[in-house]
Amino acid sequence: MASLFNIVPIRTSLAMRDYAALEVQRTHAVPLLDSLQRPLRDLRISVTDRCNLRCTYCMPRAVFDAHHEFLPRSELLSFEEIERLAKLFIPLGVQKIRLTGGEPLLRRGIERLVERIAQLTTIEGKPVEIALTTNGVALAQKAKSLKDAGLARITVSLDGLSNETFRRMSDSDESVNTVLDGIAAAQRVGLHPVKVNMVVQRGVNEHEIVAMAEHFRHSGIVLRFIEYMDVGSSNAWQLNEVVTAREILQRIASHYPLCVADADYTGEVAARWQYLDGGGEIGVIASVTQTFCHDCTRARLATDGKLYTCLFASNALDLREPLRLGMSDAVLTNIIADKWGRREDRYSELRNTQSNSGKRIEMSYIGG
């Protein structure tokens, strides 16, 4: 069965002569800007394409079945390679690194990678902010070791509060309590902030929006609601299955009045809201109805070393080949800088105006 990863139509790697031409020390503006003047600030690194759940909007079992070919270990970037590449992104402006997957806690020794990344400092000399997104199934066991390794913050995906809804969304037999125990452990060991992401899909889990809000009110945990997206090419996305940010907020506000909160920083993905009664904060990530491409500062490094500049991309540039060919930091930095400099991605803004012919990368491979 053909792998889902040979979807990159354009040339991903360069010829040797191209590498030779890149063997020059170039001075890059910092932060590096793309063709729409968006700075490179955030690097998301997928450390595995494997997962222990089969969330229907990301990794539908019909596609990711028992015959699915995951990437062989030899094709994954090693922790040393990930650290080396991360070090090259920082002088170009990266301030925050998020580890994703698949499910990053499935990658053996993930704490060692966290330790390596946690040593890195930004061009301002501040520690690089390191975050991780997990489905929480293994978090209760891993929270302490991740914190001790230097992890600062964590985001846990949880799409329902009842086992029935959670198992329907994750197409698994896992229990909600396993994830809730992981979230509690993350708070207990001092990871902060702890955020919880709920993807809302009409006809599946929108009836639990208020229950989720009630559960996390006054908990210190930031609950974010994500509009169901047409990520990848496998989830048979339909616009009429999207519960809009407006509807989500109306449902909650009808029980617990809300007020808008300022963004924490430029390029923040979630729109922030506060409960008027001091019950805490929620967020809404509205990639379908309130797009935010205009200040998107995120680059994505896939677990096999391909560099993508959009979650909905269908092409990439291979960094693993030059890395394993022994190319210098100058060559690798110039490759990254050229790719970002040419970036013009704004898929969500153009979603309804362009033909979506390109096969989009799978979120389970590139991370959310």
CA–CA separation, 144 and 151 (whole Å): 10
Q: Name the minimum Å distance from CB 347 to ligand SF4.
A: 4
Q: Output DSSP code: residue 279.
A: -
Q: How far is the CB of 292 from ligand SF4 (least distance, A)?
A: 5
Question: What is the closest distance, in whole angstroms, from the C-beta atom of residue 173 to ligand SF4 in the complex?
Answer: 32
CA 272 to chain centre: 18
Report the alpha-carbon distance of residue 233 to residue 302 in Å, rounded.
17
Instruction: Decide whether 176 or 361 has the Cβ nearer to ligand SF4.
Output: 361
Instruction: For ligand SF4, give the closer residue by CB, 160 or 368.
Output: 368
The separation between the first and the last C-alpha atoms of the chain, rounded to the nearest angstrom, is: 25
Least spacing, CB of residue 312 vs ligand SF4, in Å:
5
Task: Give least dist CB 98 to ligand SF4, A.
Answer: 13
- What is the rounded CA–CA span in Å between residue 35 and residue 345? 9
Dmax (CA) of the chain: 63
Binding site for ligand SF4 (CB under 6 A): 287, 292-293, 296, 298, 310-312, 345-348
The two structure tokens encoding residue 346: 């704004």
DSSP string for 88-148? HHGGGT--EEEEESS-GGGSTTHHHHHHHHHT-B-TTSPBPEEEEEE-STTHHHHHHHHHH
- The CB-of-310 to ligand SF4 minimum distance in angstroms stands at 3
Residue among 79 and 312 whose Cβ is closer to ligand SF4: 312
Residue number with CB closer to ligand SF4 (38 or 147): 38
As given in the structure block, the two tokens for residue 145 are 């070791």
SS3 299: strand
Residue placing its CB nearer to ligand SF4 in the complex, 46 or 165: 46
Choose between 64 and 292: whose C-beta lies nearer to ligand SF4: 292
